[in-house]
Structure 1
Amino acid sequence: MEDDAQVAQVIRAVLVEMGAPKVGTAYADEALDIMTATYAQDDRIYFVVDDGGKIIGGAGVAPLENNEGNICELQKMYFLPEARGKGLGAKMMDVCLRKAKSLGYDKCYLETLPYMIDATKLYAKSGFENLDGPLGDTGHYSCNVWMIKSL
């Protein structure tokens, strides 16, 4: 719980930096302010990158909302500028995907924005493929890039 405010601050700061809409993205998620409680179930997890007591990034997986099937969603993967360019995104992606598989998920889904170019490149390099439309109903209607990967 002590990390919740820092995690929310990181995610909102990155979204503002990227020029993302505050509505229809993770920025407005109620879960941002209660991340510990949100991910305190057996079918989900959230990881943070801590640099000397300061959270500089994070990512997690959870069941894809309003979807039939055994699909998780890569959620809230954001890194502050000082965390970028160090391979942390690739490491975090690997940790999340391995955990998703160990939790028994068959596929991992994500949503992003087209101008988050570095993130989209990382997702493609990690084996995610583009979809023509969204799966489930995450409430992130401003995100118009949808990707999926078999685990």
Structure 2
Amino acid sequence: MSTIKIRSVAPEDNKALAQVIRDVLIEMGVPKVGTAYEDEALDMMYETYDAPRKEYYVVEDNGKIIGGAGIAQLEKESSEICELQKMYFLPEARGKGLGSKMMSKCLNFAKEQGFSKCYLETMPYMKDARKLYAKVGFTSLDAPMGDTGHYSCQAWMIKEL
């Protein structure tokens, strides 16, 4: 029986979580340069999100990490704007409503922290992800915001919280 749970990232998750994110990025054909693939934070997600107004959640199935997503203030933007960060799921986690649950958890955290808008970056060809984002109220932008360092990402979205 599957025992899927969503919980905050823990120090012992770092290695497995970095592998999950890199595996999904490779599967999706995302460039390794100018995307989350080369972020230093990938190898130390717990430490990266162990700060005020930041949170990263993992999806765990019988002790195995199968996905995750986080919220943090958008770099070099108003303190009212957060970013939905590093939302990735292994194939076995998809199609089970986990994306919607994770999105709800992240956006609720963002509201609790006083953010008024949530920004995200993705790839134009990640159609399932973009469909989910639109379903919860994200709308497309014509240009990027803030300073994520992800210059290879070519789709930007924002949502009023």
Q: Which category describes the TM-score, using the shorter chain as reference length?
A: over 0.9
Instruction: Give me the whole-angstrom Cα distance separating, in 1, the residues matched to 2:79 and 2:17.
Output: 29
Tell me the secondary structure at the aligned position of residue 146 of structure 1: strand
Instruction: Give me the whole-angstrom Cα distance separating, in 2, the residues matched to 1:34 and 1:135.
Output: 24
1:134-149, aligned counterparts within 5 Å? 134-149=144-159
The TM-score with structure 1 as length reference comes to 0.98
1:1-151, aligned counterparts within 5 Å? 1-151=11-161
| Structure 1 segments unaligned to the other structure (5+ residues) | none
Structure 1 residue 69: Cα displacement: 4.2
For the Cα contact (< 8 Å) 2:73–2:79, is it kept in 1?
A: no
Tell me the secondary structure at the aligned position of residue 2 of structure 1: helix
The residue type equivalent to 1:27 in the other structure is: Y
Structure 1 residue 148: Cα displacement: 0.2
Map Cα deviations across residues 110-133 of structure 1 (whole Å, 9 max, x no partner): 000011110000000010000010
Structure 1 residue 12: Cα displacement: 0.4
Map Cα deviations across residues 29-48 of structure 1 (whole Å, 9 max, x no partner): 00000101100012100000
Structure 1 residue 68: Cα displacement: 2.7
For the Cα contact (< 8 Å) 2:82–2:110, is it kept in 1?
A: yes
The root-mean-square deviation of aligned C-alpha atoms, in Å, is 0.6
| Structure 2 segments unaligned to the other structure (5+ residues) | 1-10
Map Cα deviations across residues 56-83 of structure 1 (whole Å, 9 max, x no partner): 0000100001113410000000000000
